[in-house]
Amino acid sequence: MTDTKDIASPSRRRALAALALAAAAPGLARAQQNAGPYVPTPWKIVDEMLKLADVRGDDFVMDLGSGDGRLVITAAERFGSRGYGVDINPELVKLANDNAARAGVADRVRFEERDLFQTGLADATVLTLYLLPGTVTQLVPKILAEMKAGARVVSHDYPLSPWPPERHLTFELPEKVEISGTTRTVLYLYTVPARLGGDWQLELPPALARKNARLSFIQQPFRVSGSASLGGTTAQLEKLIVRGEDVSFAIPGLARGAPARFTGKARGDAIEGVVQVPGGEAPWRAVRLTAR
């Protein structure tokens, strides 16, 4: 993370970071015995992680295993976002807070000594990770249970198995050889899906039907399936896609025999959007009746 306000001067930024790390080195070596080795994210990968996460000014960026704070601080400097980082190493936590003060963003970011598994994720709209593969895998249920629909997760080098990534990017970086013995770096992007599991009442526009329908969604950790019931007939939803809050699906046979394509946003116990009808489109809404 950035050690100075002058983000237009990368060489100066990196030099200050190196000096700060050198000063903290004795304490870091002691902490590594318990917390594992401290490996800072290369600056190019910091930039690529924030780009892949599409960080914006209204985001709250959280970094688990935040080290010297570079991801959270750079996001605050560059995009004006707020942020929070946790690390089990007290010397790194102090270094990260000092770096935030030097960068002039201490009013928007903070770092604490904390067990990452005991850290609540509900406030984060962006989560960044550079952790061992076993650790990121253990975090998957926590991420899916606590983070809001639409929140983005970017993991450096290790996928959140068995959750399939939405995207992954590969880079060749010479400085990674000292870290991992290879130049290869992979970034994995995930978007937390809306929680749709349960039964919903679907309010259809008159152009499609005079009666309401029933939607039923079965939500597995990484996949959603569903069906629609209307007038005693049940049909499987076609082309069902859930990405964050965005939901789309088709109900066969509604629009003059053709599948009716629904798109909308799920927020809590309601989904609202538009559906294609003969001659244009019309609004639709679904309200959750029961959850499962």
pLDDT tens track for 186-195: 999 999 999 9
More confident residue, 30 or 185: 185
CA gap 124, 115 in Å, rounded: 16
Q: What's residue 255's pLDDT?
A: 67
Q: What's residue 37's pLDDT?
A: 67
Per-residue pLDDT band for 14 (boundaries 50, 70, 90) equals very low
Closest CA to 219 of 135, 117, 290: 290
pLDDT tens track for 200-220: 999 999 888 878 899 999 998
For the cut 80, the answer to whether the pLDDT of residue 3 exceeds it is no
Closest CA to 195 of 292, 60, 125: 292
Q: What's residue 212's pLDDT?
A: 87
Q: What's residue 180's pLDDT?
A: 79
Q: What's residue 257's pLDDT?
A: 65
Q: What's residue 38's pLDDT?
A: 80
* Axis-axis angle for helices 10-35, 43-52 (nearest 10): 90
Q: What's residue 36's pLDDT?
A: 44
Average pLDDT in the 268-291 region?
Answer: 92
Closest CA to 38 of 70, 9, 14: 70
Q: What's residue 217's pLDDT?
A: 97
pLDDT tens track for 159-170: 999 999 999 999
Closest CA to 134 of 157, 166, 167: 157
Sign of CA dihedral 235, 238, 240, 246: negative
pLDDT tens track for 67-115: 999 999 999 999 999 999 999 999 999 999 999 999 999 999 999 999 9
Q: What are the structural domains, with CATH classification, of the chain?
A: 10-191 (3.40.50.150), 198-291 (2.40.128.20)
Q: What's residue 24's pLDDT?
A: 40
User: Dihedral of the CA atoms 191, 196, 201, 202 (nearest 10)?
Assistant: 30
User: By 3-state DSSP, what share of the chain in percent is helix, strand and coil, each rounded to 5?
Assistant: 30, 40, 35
Q: What's residue 152's pLDDT?
A: 98
Q: In what order do the strands lie in the sheet with 270-277?
A: 233-236, 223-230, 213-220, 198-203, 280-291, 270-277, 258-267, 246-255, 238-243
